[in-house]
């Protein structure tokens, strides 16, 4: 709006007057922005010895992980916990993390990949624990799954992708082409897809039994096109952990389109469970949080070297199956898949 | 029983009785066996159904066992992995908290499992329901097949028994119909037919149904009446016939008399006509013969005298011819005179053989000239009373006719033989013969079949007429026969004994 006004003024009053006007308007905008920031930011006050818990935004997974983390920390006596949600605001995150570095907190526990990357960037001298990071190696958090970075250790929500793909195939017999949707520049979904490709190679050897077709969505306008193509060319659609996809409206669209094409939607995001996905395979984030607390205890209380600690991974997983979706698609889920399910969705009552 | 004399009543009674019998038979045979079959089929179906249900439940039990096994395996696996993921080091010295955590997670797992189990149970219930419904549907289908088979069996049996029953019923009805209706009707028909042929004594037996008895009674009454009427008619006819026969006899006698009279009249008329003809001819012939005889006598006398004076042989022969021709002409005129005057020869016992030989000698020279052979055969016959001169003239005429009809080299046979009631002379030649149509007229005066080209020249037509007249006067009979032209002819002269005349 300012740009439009400026252009009009330049045309009307001449360049000098426009320049002055532009300067004044820029000042006004900055002032307004600062004011807005001052109003929104309610940074928690940190002090020495406290544990700062940082999350980029409050996702359901993060919430669960935070619950487990808090429980574990309190269990071992860490009561001074300060939780900060940056709400996707980089300045807020920076400010909070800078404060944590400055105030000398005992450690920063970052929830999720983005939060961990920011924590490492702005708190280079503070012990950082991470949890619910899909692939910390790929995200540049640790050099390897064996750890090996000073002042950094944590665990991953990593799923055995081979197991995941086998579960998909078990739920969708004859699965030859699996389309995976993901938004551009999403580190989590990219990491998942890379893991899956690796697992496919490992499973099938020369020629994978299931072909993974990647459909990258580069914007809101690209969504429908990619979704349509994915539905037309595949036997099932995989929705990875991608906030641009598992959110309410986007996921509903994916499910509707896939249902019209009579193909199932499978996901590795727990958010998709019970919302139209035939099968969801996820991890227990609360347990991840609890295991992160155990890491904190090992390093801070027991004095273990964080660089020597492997990136923690869960062996258990949570499988969700939806029999209503199967019924709508005219499919029947194999009994072992149903029996392995952590939760079975079925609203239709028997007669 | 008097109420069931009517055929209709008997028929309906029989039909009712057969219907009752049929129903009873059906009830006893078909329905009873059908009931047994139903029981047997039901038992089979029940047994099969029981086995099917047992199989289904066994399969369900197996499935449930498998399910339980898989469920336990899955659950223990899940629980094991959950335990592996729990950071036990966090709970060192805090067993109560660990216990609480484990209980909490176990509770959550239990809740989840319960919910899942309910859903899976519902799912299985539906699936098993489907299986059971499928099995029940199969049993239902089998039952339908069994029922259809049973129906077919019943239908078959019904058809067999029904057919047999209908056959029996129709046979019985047929027998009853035959004895109560057909047989009396046939007998009645025979009686009617015999009546039609004239035997009015037959009567229909009054037996069978009431209708037949009434019919027989009525018919017999009618037959009695007809018989009586017939007898009356016969008597009348007999009387009338007798009267007619008498009238017919009288008429026939009258007719016979009339016929005889007519024949006599015709004969008389013929004789009268012939007599008148003969009289006229005789008168005319007498005049002509007298004049011709005088002329011919003069010619013969002159020729004879001239012959004595002629030394030329050819001239003498010519004169001989003239003389013979004159003699023949004299003979003709003599015949004509004989015909016109009639010959009244003397009757005396004569030898017919000698008469025939004498006449034969007269024509002998002529036959030699003509080259015709004369053969004569004669039996030893007794003398017969007749006119020798008249007979000789008759035979001479017959010999001359035969000679004139014969060709050189042919023969003439003359036989004298006995015949019933007299004697007969047969003259047979193989010459020209006579047309059949001329046979009736050859005895008429001046009728001749000879033309000028014949050997002796044309005939006068008086020889046979004169002969016929002589024979008729002697009470004899002359007949001619011929086998046709060119086949010769045969004349017979029959002379009766005078006693037989």
Quote the CA–CA distance of A275 and A268 in Å, as a whole number.
13
Give the C-alpha separation, A18 to A11, whole Å: 9
Q: What is the pLDDT, as a whole number, of residue B453?
A: 47
Q: Please answer whether residues A266 and A239 qualify as being in contact, where contact means their C-beta atoms are separated by less than 8 angstroms.
A: yes
Helix (H, G, I), strand (E, B) or coil at A110: strand
Q: B71, B123, B133: best mutation site toward chain A, by most A Cβ within 10 Å?
A: B123
DSSP A56: S
Taking the C-alpha atoms of residue A277 and residue B133, their distance in angstroms, rounded to an integer, is: 31
pLDDT in tens, A155-214: 999 888 888 999 999 999 989 999 999 999 888 888 889 888 888 886 655 666 789 999
* In contact, B441 and B426? CB cutoff 8 Å: no
A291 has a chain B CB within 8 A of its CB: yes
Predicted pLDDT of residue A24: 61
pLDDT at residue B2 is higher than 50: yes
Which residues of chain B lie closer than 8 angstroms to A290, CB-CB? 86-87, 90
Tokens 């006449």 sit on residue: B359
Residue range B133-160: average pLDDT? 81
Q: Cβ separation of B123 and A317 shorter than 8 Å?
A: no
Nearest CA in chain A to B98: A75
Taking the C-alpha atoms of residue B424 and residue B472, their distance in angstroms, rounded to an integer, is 15
Mark yes or no for CB contact B123/A338 under 8 Å: yes
pLDDT tens, residue by residue, A256-276: 999 999 999 999 998 899 999
Tokens read off for A73 = 């920390």
What pTM, to 2 d.p., does this model score? Answer: 0.54
B375 and B411 in contact (C-beta within 8 Å)?
A: yes
pLDDT tens-digit readout, B213-232: 888 888 888 888 888 888 88
**Torsion, CA B216, CA B218, CA B220, CA B226, rounded to 10:** -150
Q: Where are the beta strands (DSSP E) in chain A?
A: 51-55, 81-85, 107-111, 127-133, 152-156, 177-183, 211-217, 236-239, 265-267, 279-282, 312-313, 318-322, 343-345
Distance CA B210, CA B7 (A): 7
Residue A215's DSSP bridge partners are A181
Name the residue among B71, B90, B119 with its Cβ closest to that of A297.
B90
Task: Give residue ranges of B with CB < 8 Å to any A CB.
Answer: 67, 70-71, 74, 77-78, 81-82, 84-87, 89-91, 94, 97, 112, 115-116, 119-120, 122-123, 125-126, 129
* Tens of pLDDT, residues B361-403: 888 888 998 899 999 999 889 999 998 888 988 998 899 889 9
A16-62 pLDDT, tens digit each:
565 555 566 655 545 454 444 444 567 888 888 899 999 998 888 89
The DSSP result for B100-132, as a single string, is HHHHHHHHHHHHHHHHHHHHHHHHHHHHHHHHH
CA distance B246 to A132: 163
Q: With beta carbons under 8 A apart, name residues in chain A contacting B123.
A: 323, 338, 346, 350
Residue of chain A whose alpha carbon sits nearest to that of B94: A75
Chain mean pLDDT for chain B: 83
Are B108 and A326 in contact by the 8 Å Cβ rule? The answer is no
Residue that the structure tokens 């016969």 belong to: B234
Q: How far is B57 from chain A (nearest CA, A)?
A: 19
Closest CA to B187 of B221, B219, B224, B227: B219
- The alpha-carbon gap from A287 to the nearest alpha carbon of chain B, in Å, equals 7
CB-CB neighbors (< 8 A) of B118 in chain A:
none
- Rg of chain B in Å (alpha carbons): 71
Counting Cα atoms < 13 Å in the Cβ hemisphere of B89 gives: 12
Q: Is the pLDDT of residue B212 over 60?
A: yes
How far is CA A99 from each of CA A47, A48, A78, A115, A145, rounded to the nearest angstrom?
Answer: 9, 11, 20, 15, 30
**pLDDT number for residue B100:** 92
Q: Please provide residue B439's backbone torsions phi and psi, each rounded to the nearest 5 degrees.
A: -60, -35
pLDDT value for A28: 55
A327/A276 Cα distance (integer angstroms): 12
Inter-chain contacts counted by CB atoms under 8 A, chains A and B: 72
Rounded Cα distance, B126 and B323, in Å? 169
Cβ within 8 Å, pair B87-A349: no
B330-346 tens-digit pLDDT: 877 776 776 666 556 67
When mean pLDDT is compared across A141-145, A180-184, B121-125, B392-396, the lowest value belongs to: B121-125
**Tell me, what's the ipTM?**
0.81
> Average of pLDDT values for B295-299?
85
Using a CB-CB cut-off of 8 Å, the residues of chain B touching A335 are: 67, 70
Residue A163 contacts B, CB cutoff 8 Å = no
Maximal C-alpha separation, chain A? 82
């Amino acid at each position: 709006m300012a740009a439009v006004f400026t252009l009009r003024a330049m045309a009307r009053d001449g360049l000098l007057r426009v320049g002055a006007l532009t300067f004044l308007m820029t000042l006004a905008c900055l002032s307004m922005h600062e004011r807005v920031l001052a109003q929104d930011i309610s940074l928690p006050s940190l002090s020495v010895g406290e544990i700062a818990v940082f999350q980029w935004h409050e996702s359901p997974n993060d919430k669960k992980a935070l619950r487990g983390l808090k429980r574990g920390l309190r269990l071992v006596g860490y009561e001074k916990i300060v939780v900060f949600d940056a709400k996707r605001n980089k300045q807020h995150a920076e400010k909070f993390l800078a404060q944590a570095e400055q105030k000398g907190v005992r450690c920063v526990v970052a929830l999720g990949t983005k939060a961990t990357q920011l924590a490492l960037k702005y708190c280079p001298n503070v012990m950082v624990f991470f949890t619910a990071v899909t692939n910390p190696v790929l995200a540049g958090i640790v050099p390897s799954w064996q750890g090996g970075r000073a002042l950094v250790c944590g665990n991953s929500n990593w799923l055995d992708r081979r197991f995941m793909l086998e579960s998909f195939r078990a739920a969708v017999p004859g699965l030859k082409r699996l389309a995976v949707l993901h938004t551009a520049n999403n580190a989590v979904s990219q990491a998942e897809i890379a893991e899956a490709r690796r697992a496919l190679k490992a499973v099938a050897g020369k020629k994978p039994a299931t072909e993974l077709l990647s459909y990258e969505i580069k914007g809101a306008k690209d969504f429908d096109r990619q979704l349509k193509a994915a539905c037309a060319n595949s036997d099932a659609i995989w929705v990875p952990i991608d906030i641009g996809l598992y959110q309410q409206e986007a996921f509903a669209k994916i499910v509707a389109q896939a249902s019209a094409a009579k193909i199932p939607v499978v996901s590795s995001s727990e958010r998709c469970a019970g919302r139209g996905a035939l099968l969801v395979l996820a991890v227990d984030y609360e347990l991840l949080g609890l295991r992160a607390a155990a890491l904190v205890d090992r390093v801070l209380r027991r004095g273990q070297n964080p660089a020597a600690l492997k990136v923690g991974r869960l062996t258990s997983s949570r499988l969700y199956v939806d029999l209503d979706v199967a019924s709508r698609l005219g499919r029947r889920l194999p009994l072992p898949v149903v029996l392995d399910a952590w939760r079975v969705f079925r609203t239709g009552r028997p007669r | 029983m008097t109420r069931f004399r009517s055929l209709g009543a008997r028929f309906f009674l029989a039909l009712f009785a057969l219907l009752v019998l049929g129903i009873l038979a059906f009830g006893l045979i078909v329905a009873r066996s059908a009931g047994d079959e139903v029981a047997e089929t039901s038992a089979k179906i029940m047994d099969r159904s029981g086995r099917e249900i047992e199989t289904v439940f066994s399969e369900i039990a197996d499935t449930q066992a498998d399910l339980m096994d898989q469920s336990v395996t899955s659950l223990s696996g899940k629980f094991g992995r959950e335990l592996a993921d729990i950071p036990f080091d966090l709970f060192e010295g805090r067993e109560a908290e660990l216990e609480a955590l484990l209980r909490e997670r176990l509770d959550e797992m239990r809740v989840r499992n319960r919910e899942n189990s309910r859903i899976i149970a519902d799912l299985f219930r539906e699936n098993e329901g489907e299986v059971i419904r499928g099995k029940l549907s199969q049993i239902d289908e089998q039952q339908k097949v069994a029922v259809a088979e049973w129906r077919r069996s019943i239908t078959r049996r019904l058809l067999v028994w029904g057919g047999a029953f209908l056959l029996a019923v129709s046979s019985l009805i047929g027998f009853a119909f035959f004895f109560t209706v057909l047989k009396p009707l046939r007998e009645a028909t025979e009686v009617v037919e015999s009546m039609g042929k004239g035997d009015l004594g037959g009567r229909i037996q009054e037996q069978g149904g009431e209708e037949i008895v009434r019919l027989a009674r009525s018919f017999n009454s009618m037959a009695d009446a007809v018989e009586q009427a017939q007898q009356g008619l016969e008597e009348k006819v007999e009387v009338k016939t007798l009267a007619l026969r008498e009238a017919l006899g009288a008429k026939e006698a009258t007719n016979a008399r009339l016929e005889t009279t007519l024949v006599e009249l015709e004969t008389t008329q013929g004789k009268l006509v012939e007599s008148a003809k003969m009289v006229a001819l005789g008168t005319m012939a007498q005049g002509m013969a007298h004049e011709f005889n005088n002329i011919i006598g003069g010619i013969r006398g002159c020729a004879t005298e001239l012959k004595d004076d002629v030394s030329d042989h050819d001239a003498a022969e010519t004169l001989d011819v003239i003389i013979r021709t004159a003699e023949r002409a004299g003979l003709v005129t003599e015949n004509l005179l004989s015909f016109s005057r009639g010959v009244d020869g003397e009757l005396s016992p004569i030898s017919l053989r000698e008469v025939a030989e004498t006449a034969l000698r007269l024509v002998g020279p002529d036959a030699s000239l003509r080259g015709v052979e004369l053969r004569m055969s004669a039996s030893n016959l007794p003398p017969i009373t007749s006119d020798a001169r008249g007979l000789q003239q008759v035979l001479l005429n017959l010999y001359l006719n035969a000679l004139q009809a014969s060709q050189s080299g042919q023969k003439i046979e003359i036989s004298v033989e006995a015949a019933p009631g007299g004697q007969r002379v047969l003259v047979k030649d193989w010459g020209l013969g006579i047309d059949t149509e001329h046979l009736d007229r050859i005895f008429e005066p001046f009728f001749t079949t000879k033309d000028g080209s014949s050997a002796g020249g044309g005939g006068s037509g008086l020889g046979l007429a004169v002969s016929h007249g002589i024979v008729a006067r002697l009470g004899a009979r002359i007949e001619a026969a011929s086998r046709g032209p060119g086949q010769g002819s045969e004349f017979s002269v029959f002379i009766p004994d005078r006693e037989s005349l």
